[in-house]
Amino acid sequence: MQLISFDLQSNFGFFRKPETNNTLNVSYNMIHKPALLGILGAIIGLAGYRKKGELPEYYEKLADLKIGIAPLDHDNGNFSKTPIKYSNTVGYANKGTNFLTEELTLISPKYRVYLLLDEAIETQRRLLDNLERGNSEFIPYFGKNEFTAWWDKQSVIKHNYTLAALNENESVPILSLFAKNQNITKNSELAEVNFLGAWESDENPFMYFERLPVGFNLNLMQYQLEEMVFSNYEIMNAHTLPNLYHLLTENRYVQLH
């Protein structure tokens, strides 16, 4: 197994939140697992949505992949956004009249994507190969096909890693988004931000929360959401977080889900 990371970016992005109505369509601020799997599927040429009620090929083949996401060049976790209004006058969208729609679009989104790849599996081996060569079967994009996305193949890094083995009361920095409330059993404490930890960095401390899709609810065929956190504070009780990996060279942690 290899733990790799690469930096994916675009000039714009729009990851539609399905629970919005027609006045203003909004986007998730972070790329999320279902959207990322679509991009990885495009890189190795897997098929997308075909039939209503059926999962696309890329999801079937990649859903078990462990991924982690961290925003880059962000402002306390946020990307600036701009509302873009579109009019559609051809008359197809709304019988006989103009169809107007407005989308709150991300500006210059950029993410570091962590992947745990098993080279024994053919699709994952192909994915690693294409990432390292800067190749893609279909050209990836951020949510809408006019927002073409790319990565610099120099950004592909193979990390030295182990599964994290932490003691209670140990605070650690986590580089990626992590799920806030996972597997909390009776007597364990919640992972939380260590406000009292020493602050040695130049950046301002911040915490960022967003409810993000982590997969699909197959009965309802809709996103399954999870409260995710991104922070530059050290995290207390990180031993309660599952799937936490220790990047040895950087001495930092990432959660892959």
Interface map 11-50 toward another protein (x if CB under 8 A)? xx--------------------------------x-x---
Decide if residue 209 touches another protein (CB under 8 A). Answer: no
Beta pairing class for 157-159 and 12-13: unpaired
151 interacts with another protein by CB under 8 A: yes
The Cα 71–Cα 228 span in angstroms is 13
- Our finding on whether 10 is near another protein (CB under 8 A) is yes
Counting contacts by CB under 8 A, is residue 184 touching another protein? no
- Contacts of residue 38, defined as CB under 8 A and 6 or more positions apart, other chains included, come to 48, 56, 58, 59
Minimum CB–partner distance for residue 60 and another protein (Å): 17
Closest CA to 43 of 123, 140, 141, 116: 140
- Considering the rule CB under 8 A, would residue 206 count as an interface residue with another protein? no
Q: Is 186 near another protein (CB under 8 A)?
A: no
**Quick one: which segment of 71-79, 148-156, 161-169, 215-223 binds another protein (CB under 8 A)?**
148-156
What Rg, from alpha-carbon coordinates, does the chain have?
19
H or E element in which residue 59 lies: helix 57-62
Nearest to 143 by CA among 11, 233, 254, 45: 11
138 lies in the site for another protein, by CB under 8 A: yes
Among 150, 156, 225, 252, binds another protein (CB under 8 A): 150
Structure tokens at 85: 């209004």
Kindly tell me which residue out of 1, 20, 63, 89 binds another protein, with binding defined by CB under 8 A: 89
End-to-end CA distance of the chain: 15
Among 145, 160, 188, 217, binds another protein (CB under 8 A): 145
Give every strand in the sheet of 207-217, ordered side by side: 178-179, 222-231, 207-217
Supply the minimum distance, in Å, between the C-beta of residue 248 and another protein. 29
Buried b / exposed e across 38-72, counting CB within 10 Å, b at 16+? bbbbbbbebeeeeeeeeebebbebbeebbbbbbbe
Interaction between residue 80 and another protein (CB under 8 A): yes
Could you give the string, one character per residue 114-133, with x where binding to another protein holds by CB under 8 A and - elsewhere? ----------------x--x
Q: Is 136 in the site for another protein (CB under 8 A)?
A: yes
Residues that bind another protein (CB under 8 A): 10-12, 45, 47, 80-82, 84-87, 89-92, 95-96, 100, 107, 130, 133-141, 145-148, 150-153
